[in-house]
Amino acid sequence: MNSKLNRYRILMILIAFIPLINIQAQDLEPRSLSAIPTGGNFAVASYGYSTGNILLDNSLPIEDLNSSLNNIVLAYGRSFKSFNHLSKFDVVLPYSFAKFEGEVNNLDSSTYRNGFGDALVRYSLVLVGGKPLNIKEFFAYEQKKFKLGVFARARLPIGNYDPTKLLNLGANRWSLKLGIGASYTFFKRLVVEGHANSWFFSENTEFFNGNSIKQKPLLSFQLHTTYVFKPGVWLAVSVGRSALGETVLNGVEKNDLQNNSRYGAAFAFKLNKKNALKFGITSGITTRYGANFTSILVAYQFMWFDKIKPS
């Protein structure tokens, strides 16, 4: 395989690393199981606009909220070897400008918020179908059609939070998502990928006006279908569904089990061997309780590799 084809193949794989950063638990992220060489570094800057019933904390007992959110996200990711498996790590930090409108105590009201949201940190392992190989080794290895992986993602409560306000950019609680995913490649171009995961939440003891709120585990499922048109250019369509996640306010269950569905699409293409762009859109299908909004996103990624030390 010549060097030019190698570069194209790297780009086709690495552009998949750009995350579709979302603002609540039902994030749709296609191609998260893509095999990549170790020693890869990824810097991502993205802008997203969302409108609708936006809940940055999906435990909030709010309905009929009409909001708009401008979200700027910086992220860094890295691929490496751990436990003899291909591993990935990424950290995400959002900054938001938000306007919220709705009814509070039967009165129309509106408010503005701007500042940092809660940071997200993720660690993942490809257990089957992706060996931890550097760039030189990567192209001597025949990629497998089937991949299986696990991941853990934590939401760190460092975002702007004021216990005298009902709506905040931070949630003032720790959150942990554990999940498993699998993918299969058909005809070398069509990739079908499915995820199942659950969010676990700590209690927010400094909720609005001296109250305490907690949330039971929230389950979610995703299905992604991706078509690779040519190296570095692909289109993915996704659907996701979340369930359970009932909230408990001051020890009283609120009977607000979530039953939400979302869909989305993403398109990515390379600019050159180090730069890539990605566009995405997500929206709600059905919502019983919780967030229901539409988001559009554009992301830019710059990627580079560690230098391979001579053996």
Confidence of residue 254 (pLDDT cuts 50, 70, 90): confident
Token pair 């940071």: residue: 119
Which pLDDT score is estimated for 56?
57
User: Taking the domains of the chain in order of start, what are their residue ranges?
Assistant: 3-302
Is the pLDDT score of 20 beyond 80? no
Which pLDDT score is estimated for 3?
46
Q: Which helix (H) or strand (E) holds 188?
A: none
Per-residue pLDDT reduced to its tens digit, 281-305: 988 876 555 567 788 999 999 999 8
Sequential DSSP letters for 30-97: TTTT----TTEEEEEEEEEEEEEE--SSTT----S-EEEEEEEEEEEEEEEEETTEEEEEEEEEEEEE
Confidence of residue 247 (pLDDT cuts 50, 70, 90): confident
For residues 69-77, average pLDDT: 93
**CA quadruple 45, 151, 274, 80: dihedral positive or negative?**
positive
Confidence of residue 308 (pLDDT cuts 50, 70, 90): confident
Quote the tokens at residue 278.
């990605």
Confidence of residue 12 (pLDDT cuts 50, 70, 90): very low
Q: Report H helices in the chain.
A: 3-14, 135-138
Is the distance from CB of 244 to CB of 220 less than 8 angstroms?
Answer: no
Confidence of residue 78 (pLDDT cuts 50, 70, 90): very high
Query: Own/partner pairs for 229-233, CB < 8 Å, 24+ apart?
Result: 229/189, 231/8, 231/9, 231/11, 231/12, 231/270, 232/8, 232/11, 232/12, 232/15, 232/268, 232/269, 232/270, 232/276, 233/268, 233/269, 233/270
Is the pLDDT score of 108 beyond 60? no
Is the pLDDT score of 198 beyond 90? yes
Confidence of residue 157 (pLDDT cuts 50, 70, 90): very high
pLDDT averaged over every residue in the chain: 83
Which pLDDT score is estimated for 8?
44
Which pLDDT score is estimated for 4?
45
Higher per-residue confidence, 22 vs 100: 100
Is the pLDDT score of 122 beyond 80? yes
Quote the tokens at residue 145.
């059609």
Beta-carbon contacts of 41 under 8 Å, excluding residues fewer than 6 positions away, are: 76, 77, 78, 303, 304, 305, 306
Confidence of residue 188 (pLDDT cuts 50, 70, 90): confident
Is the pLDDT score of 256 beyond 90? no
Which pLDDT score is estimated for 134?
85
Task: Check residue 7 and report its DSSP letter.
Answer: H
Is the pLDDT score of 54 beyond 70? no
What is 3-302's CATH number, 2.40.128.130, 3.30.465.10, 1.20.1430.10, 1.10.3720.10?
A: 2.40.128.130
Which pLDDT score is estimated for 64?
63
Which pLDDT score is estimated for 21?
44
